[in-house]
Amino acid sequence: MNQFQYLRPTKQQAAIEALARTPNAQFIAGGTNLLDLMKRGVLEPPRLIDINRLPLGKIERDNGRLRIGALALNGAVAEDKQVLERQPLLAQALNAGASAQLRNMATVGGNMLQRTRCSYFYDTAMPCNKREPGSGCGALEGYNRMHAIFGFSDKCIAVHPSDMSVALVALDATVLISGPKGDRRLPFADLHRLPGDTPQKDTNLEPGELITAVEIPDGPFTKNVHYLKVRERASYAFALVSVAAALSLDGNTIKDARLAMGGVAHKPWRLAEAEKSLIGKPATEATFRQAADIAMQGAKAFKHNSYKLRMAPNSIIQALKNAASVA
């Protein structure tokens, strides 16, 4: 690990200024991803700004919204009474991620900002446009079974690894941001970006900006929800494909729906057209199959991940069946 300067601000503004003053400085919160990357030499920040003393850990509800502080721990959010009551899909997604120990360390802000687990990004001996712009993409012609089937570019085919983010994008969350130019709100769907020609940029955060909270509007998705995560072992592995499904049912009729996928793109992948196709229809396998077909339009596989072209639609159908309790 490189040497770095360690700072521990107690005021938000001081943290933001400290970040803005040093190129490549990093905030550290839980550290579970950042320290992993630093130990491997993938990141070498000259300055770490420990934000754990900032008062950003609250979970509160006001004005029909659940506001979760950026420093709230993943484990605490997954067990929070209000979260379980109002947004059970988020709790399910959080519990599907990492291990109990890591969930006690990882924060909500850090979870959404975690970097891809693409092995070419992690291996400093390999080319990677995300780690070293212009060096090429090792995965494109390499071992790409974990990689994207949507929204990739010829510069990067990595996927975003967060489960929590798949639920947040489905639930129309908003990110609260504070930065050198003041505060702003950003729809969660616009936080992450597609790789295009600049895969080194994971998000649309500006330099020096700090995520302070995420807000989720109250909705009807308190009962018929399911987060399905398909992985290589029963627990504690990144998703091959995951699906966040939320339904609002009137009898057997779908009144409203939310759908998003993980493990398939550079950002959490909202399935807006598939959602629309569900509304007004009976909650049956046939309906779900049609939605899955719509969701998969435009999918394209690489040499080793064509299994995702079948796994993804099947996962959508299964997640919706589980959400609706359809056998």
Partner 1 sequence: MADENPEITPSGPPAGHNEARRTFLKQSSVLTALALTPGPLVKAAEAEFDEKVAAAIEQVPLRLEINGKKYKLSVEPRTTLLDLLREQLHLTGTKKGCDYGQCGACTVHVDGQRVNSCLTLAVMQDGRKVTTIEGLADGDKLHPMQEAFLKHDGFQCGYCTPGQIMSAVACVREGHADSEGEIREFMSGNICRCGAYPNIVAAIQEVKNGGQKV
Residues that bind partner 1 in the complex, under the rule CB under 8 A: 1, 3-11, 13-14, 17-18, 21, 28, 30-32, 35-36, 39-40, 48, 50, 52-53, 75, 98-102, 104-105, 234-236
Which one, 102 or 186, has the nearer CB to partner 1? Answer: 102
Q: Residue 105 CB: number of other CB atoms within 10 A?
A: 17
Which one, 45 or 69, has the nearer CB to partner 1? Answer: 45
User: Least Å distance between CB 26 and partner 1?
Assistant: 12
User: Least Å distance between CB 85 and partner 1?
Assistant: 18
Tokens of 83: 């979260």
User: Least Å distance between CB 71 and partner 1?
Assistant: 12
Q: Left if phi > 0, otherwise alpha if psi is -120 to 50, otherwise beta: which for 151?
A: left
User: Least Å distance between CB 36 and partner 1?
Assistant: 5
User: Least Å distance between CB 88 and partner 1?
Assistant: 17
> Residues with Cβ < 8 Å from 53, sequence gap 6 or more?
8, 9, 10
DSSP assignment of 18-54: HHHHSTT-EEESS-TTHHHHHHTTS---SEEEE-TTS
Which one, 204 or 235, has the nearer CB to partner 1? Answer: 235
Under DSSP, the state recorded for 269 is: E
User: Least Å distance between CB 166 and partner 1?
Assistant: 19
Which one, 104 or 306, has the nearer CB to partner 1? Answer: 104
Beta 174-179 vs 224-230: how paired, if at all?
A: unpaired
Report the half-sphere exposure of 268 (CA within 13 A, side-chain side).
29
Which one, 146 or 148, has the nearer CB to partner 1? Answer: 146
Which one, 33 or 248, has the nearer CB to partner 1? Answer: 33
Under DSSP, the state recorded for 261 is: E
